[in-house]
Structure 1
Amino acid sequence: MVATKRAPRSPLPKTTPPPAPRRPEETHWGDVALWYDKHVGDEGSEYHREVILPGVLRLLNLDKITSGKPRLLDIACGQGVLCRALAKEGCQVVGIDAAAELIAAAKRRNSGDNLSIDYRVADATKLIEGIGKTADGLRPGSFDAVTIVLSIQNMTPLSPVWHAVWSLLKPKGTLVIVMMHPCFRIPRHSDWMWHEKSLQQQRVVSQYLSSAEVSIVTHPGDAARGLGSSTTTHFHRPLQAYINTLGNAGLFVDRLDEWTSHKVDQAGPKKAAMDKAREEIPLFLALRARKM
């Protein structure tokens, strides 16, 4: 009999047992897959191209991965925009998404090319079967890095995702998360406001610490005209919810970046104030964590 080495256990707090798994939310992104695929395209939206993709590559720092061809997992990969960018950088990429329609779109966009990408339909909240054991044919300890870009706020609960990431990463592997900034972009509880006395564009936040589940109308213009529109679900959480649950899973944040919009306002009397507000109030939050 050949002895097998058991995968290391993901650390959990010693004082309390692990929480009972919560039933994952059903994805609603399949309903908007065609629109989303067209919106993002091959190279990404304007925000992808100008802010997100360059920022993710900086945080991954692929040049420091010396174990051969970097192997990366993109969780909730959508139609594969980040997977394609990573593969073009010379990475072996696995992309997973719970929406079969988006995985189909990703495969269509990769047909005929030689990029090293393996797309699979899989739910990130169900990847873990037991501590140190993962489902969907993903081998523990086999990835140099994991990315979760503009999708963690569509997932609940967080802990099963983090424990799966811990299991799948190599020792000292990297997790990069990008999200809408939870301190300033809170659906129904944050907005821009023009302050007439100070002549400033200001960001107003009316609620932050309370977690909330919010339905987001994909095409509000259609809904306003009574035409109906698909919805997706956004889970707002305060920043501490991410930092603390990551730490509980043995993933410790070593960098936090706040990215602003690259856009500028049209010429006019408010242009300087509008541009200043965009430069000061970040649109995206990026976290990098390491497996410890």
Structure 2
Amino acid sequence: MADWYAGWVGAEGSEHHRRLAIPALLALLKPAAGEHVLDVGCGPGVLAPHVTAANARYTGVDASRKLVAFARRHHGAHGRFVMGDATRLRETREVAEGGFDAAVFLLSIQDIDPLEDALASAAWALRPGGRVVLLMTHPCFRVPRQSGWGWDTQRRLRYRRIDRYLTRLAVPMKGYGGGATRSYHRPLSAYVNGLATCGLLVDGVHEIPTFKTHPPGPNARAERTAMREIPLFLGLRAVKP
């Protein structure tokens, strides 16, 4: 999957990365000069130049050798990229206990399982007073294969239909490049309670609608309202007291 993913996202990130996900994550992260940020599931490393632009240090960790190599080629000047398992960061030589001011999951946490192990790994890597930021597709409204848009003819409203939510799901995703992945759906409570179990206290929430627009037509107003009101992404920030 690595070649396909790197080709789709590119060195700068997809349009969703550039216009929504990265700005939202940075708004919660607020990287400061001299801080050290750990990017868990860093993929092609698209976040690295944004962290170093704030004069902070950057380390990216990913389980894919090909994606780490891609990140080093395109963003090696902005930090270091290492191989590692997000759920067992203790086994990654370049990641030290309490060695980071912040850990982030930029559209990666829903591809990682078990969730609790990933959160515990991030908490282990944080110094006291550090913070973790999760940026994901909104688990309340974007459940793979169990949610979608609908149209209420009588009320002339665009609505979001949710068929399943509370049950944790491992959903096979469409294969590209000869491979396939799973997306792990969990309810919002799993993230908040999972962070709390690790001693991380949520102190920031950001819900982000999509930027998409629709061509003029009889339902354009309803379409625009739905896009403004039903968020695409959810950002959570939690601190380690």
**TM-score above 0.5:** yes
Are positions 1:121 and 2:70 aligned together? no
Q: Matches of 2:178 and 2:7 in 1, distance apart?
A: 17
The answer for the alignment partner of 1:80 in structure 2 is 45
Are positions 1:179 and 2:128 aligned together? no
Q: Which amino acid aligns with 2:18?
A: R
The answer for the alignment partner of 1:69 in structure 2 is 34
Q: Which amino acid aligns with 2:69?
A: A
Q: Secondary structure at the match of 1:177?
A: strand
Q: Which amino acid aligns with 1:47?
A: H
Alpha carbons 2:151, 2:157 under 8 Å: kept: yes
Provide Cα deviations, 1:138-170, integer angstroms capped at 9, x if missing partner.
111111111001111111112222222122111
Are positions 1:146 and 2:125 aligned together? no
Alignment of 1:21-32 (within 5 A): 32=1
Residues 42 and 204 of structure 1: CA distance in aligned 2, closer, same or farther (over 3 Å): same
Are positions 1:241 and 2:190 aligned together? yes
Q: Secondary structure at the match of 2:95?
A: coil
TM-score normalized by the length of structure 2: 0.95
Alpha carbons 1:217, 1:229 under 8 Å: kept: no
Shift, 1:199, TM fit: 1.1
Q: Which amino acid aligns with 1:49?
A: R
Alpha carbons 2:148, 2:160 under 8 Å: kept: yes
Q: Secondary structure at the match of 1:217?
A: coil
Q: Matches of 2:181 and 2:50 in 1, distance apart?
A: 25
Alpha carbons 1:260, 1:284 under 8 Å: kept: yes
Alignment of 1:169-208 (within 5 A): 169-208=126-165
Higher Cα Rg, which structure:
1
Q: Matches of 2:17 and 2:184 in 1, distance apart?
A: 21
Q: Matches of 1:124 and 1:210 in 2, distance apart?
A: 23
4+ runs deviating over 6 angstroms: none
The answer for the alignment partner of 1:165 in structure 2 is 122
Shift, 1:87, TM fit: 2.0
TM-score normalized by the length of structure 1: 0.79
Q: Which amino acid aligns with 2:88?
A: K
Q: Matches of 2:120 and 2:181 in 1, distance apart?
A: 25
Residues 135 and 104 of structure 1: CA distance in aligned 2, closer, same or farther (over 3 Å): closer
Identity in percent: 38
The answer for the alignment partner of 2:226 in structure 1 is 277
How many positions carry a matched residue from both structures? 241
Q: Which amino acid aligns with 1:122?
A: G
Worse-superposed segment, 174-183 or 260-269: 260-269
Q: Matches of 1:89 and 1:42 in 2, distance apart?
A: 19
Q: Which amino acid aligns with 1:82?
A: L
Provide Cα deviations, 1:73-93, integer angstroms capped at 9, x if missing partner.
000000000123212332210
Shift, 1:209, TM fit: 0.4
Residues 229 and 272 of structure 1: CA distance in aligned 2, closer, same or farther (over 3 Å): farther
Shift, 1:229, TM fit: 5.2
The answer for the alignment partner of 1:44 in structure 2 is 13
Q: Matches of 1:270 and 1:191 in 2, distance apart?
A: 17
Q: Matches of 2:203 and 2:61 in 1, distance apart?
A: 25
The answer for the alignment partner of 1:24 in structure 2 is none
Alpha carbons 1:124, 1:161 under 8 Å: kept: yes
Q: Matches of 1:46 and 1:266 in 2, distance apart?
A: 19
Provide Cα deviations, 1:230-269, integer angstroms capped at 9, x if missing partner.
3211111111111111101111111111110011111222
Are positions 1:109 and 2:85 aligned together? no
